[in-house]
Structure 1
Amino acid sequence: MFVYKMDEDLSLKLIDLRDADSVFELTENSRDYLREWLPWVDSTVKVEDTKAFIQSCVKGFADNKSLTTVILYQAEIVGVAGFNSIDWSNKIASIGYWLGDKYQGNGIMTRVAKALTDYAFTELKLNKVEIRAAVDNLKSRNVPERLGFVEEGTIRSGEWIYDHFVDHVVYGILADEWVK
């Protein structure tokens, strides 16, 4: 079982079906907050939807194509983060994340993204990590900016969210930049 402990309060654990009830409850409790930027919230209406998501995450991990974890803060699941994709041929990982609304403002996601980036470079020996965020999602954009990622460009109409497209800002950092 993959567990990545950052400190006494914060760790990442490979998501599994035993987490379904907690992840679904967190989604339910943060539904309005999450819906603004995440296109899957309205289609997650019962715990079985979360179980299906987790099963796809487990398969992605087994196929060595992704790594999805729950964020444990003081032993409680407070969000989900990981590598949405790992491109082994080009040595690039793409980080995705979300956090329950009542856990915002504690620096959790910046610490999580830092740990994932460290892991990508030191353990997986990748060359690049990317983070994409909607142009107007300032909280999400602040994470890679705080960590020194480079703004590489904008993907126009990068994601459909319910009834409109949003542009995505692409951030990236290379292994040799991270070490510095």
Structure 2
Amino acid sequence: MTDAPSTLQVVPDLPRLRVIEERDAPAVLDAFDDDAMRRQGTIRTLEEAQNWVSFMGGRGERLALALDLGGSMIGAVVVSSIDQENETGWFWYWMHREHRGRGWMSRAAVTLADYALTDMFLHRLELGHRANNPASGGVARAAGFVMEGVEREKFLVDGVRVDVHTYSRLVTDPWPETQRLPLDL
């Protein structure tokens, strides 16, 4: 493993990572009003968004971070299902539809993955994405995850069977060159 980048300067038009807060509920509700997000969960009311934010705020079993741009949440990157005994965690992320395609989620993912494998003392991070979502695979690879396999026809989406691509990143894997984002914990 090589050394992680040491310092990052905050650039005004660049997102940063911070802990998800109660004020993020309206942004979560707006993000989930998107067909592409329906598989992430069903959040249809502000109360459901507030419950999601409250659940994500719990420490220990997960670390959920908001991708913040100018004070507004535009995405989330999360390590959940943390198993301290085996030093593993499940890694996942989503981005608001208006902010996709800018490379910000790749930067957010590598930042949190680095943190989880060093400061949280995890050895292995795992993730999976639907094969019909290649952008998610691009984020995983940019964050240093290595594809391990395919779970054939795992999900039924709108009457069509969809494969899931599985990835992992180990603490011993090479550090990716993807630029990191500022991290405020």
TM-score grouping bracket, smaller chain normalisation = 0.7 to 0.9
Cα deviation, residue 156, structure 1: 3.1
SS at match of 1:178: coil
Aligned to 1:88: 84
Aligned residues: 167
Q: Determine whether 1:20 maps to 2:16.
A: no
Counterpart amino acid of 1:32? D
Alpha-carbon displacement from aligned partner over 1:47-79 (angstroms, at most 9, x marks no partner): 1111121222233x2xx1111121102332111
2:182 corresponding residue in structure 1: none
- Contact 2:66/2:74 (8 A) holds in 1: yes
Instruction: State percent identity of aligned pairs.
Output: 25
Aligned with 1:148: secondary structure? coil
The residue aligned with 2:51 is 52
The 1-side partners of 2:102 and 2:163 are apart by 27
The answer for unaligned runs of 5 or more in structure 1 is none
Match status 1:125 vs 2:130: no
1:129-180 CA-to-partner distances (Å, cap 9, x unmatched) read 1221111210101111233321111223444546555321111121111348
How many angstroms apart in 1 are the aligned matches of 2:102 and 2:148?
27
TM-score w.r.t. the length of structure 1 is: 0.81
Distance in 1 separating the partners of 2:150 and 2:168: 12
Asked whether the equivalents of residues 66 and 83 of structure 1 are also in contact (C-alpha less than 8 Å), the reply is yes
- Give the TM-score taking structure 2 as reference length: 0.79
RMSD: 2.2
2:83–2:89 Cα contact (<8 Å) kept: yes
1:75–1:55 CA distance, 2 compared to 1 (3 A): closer
1:169 corresponds in structure 2 to: 165
Deviations 1:70-102 (A, max 9, x none): 110233211111113211111112211110111
Q: Do the aligned partners of 1:155 and 1:169 also contact (CA within 8 Å) in 2?
A: yes
Q: 1:76 is matched by which residue type in structure 2? A: S
Unaligned runs of 5+ in 2: 1-7, 177-185
Assess, with a 3 A threshold, how the Cα gap between structure 1 residues 105 and 179 changes in structure 2: closer, same or farther.
closer
Query: Which residue of 2 is the match for residue 143 of structure 1?
Result: 139
Matched, 1:152 2:157: no
| Higher share in helix | 1
Looking at structure 2, the residues matched to 82 and 158 of structure 1 have their Cα atoms a distance apart, in angstroms, of 22
- Higher RCO, 1 vs 2 (CA within 8 Å, ≥6 residues apart): 2
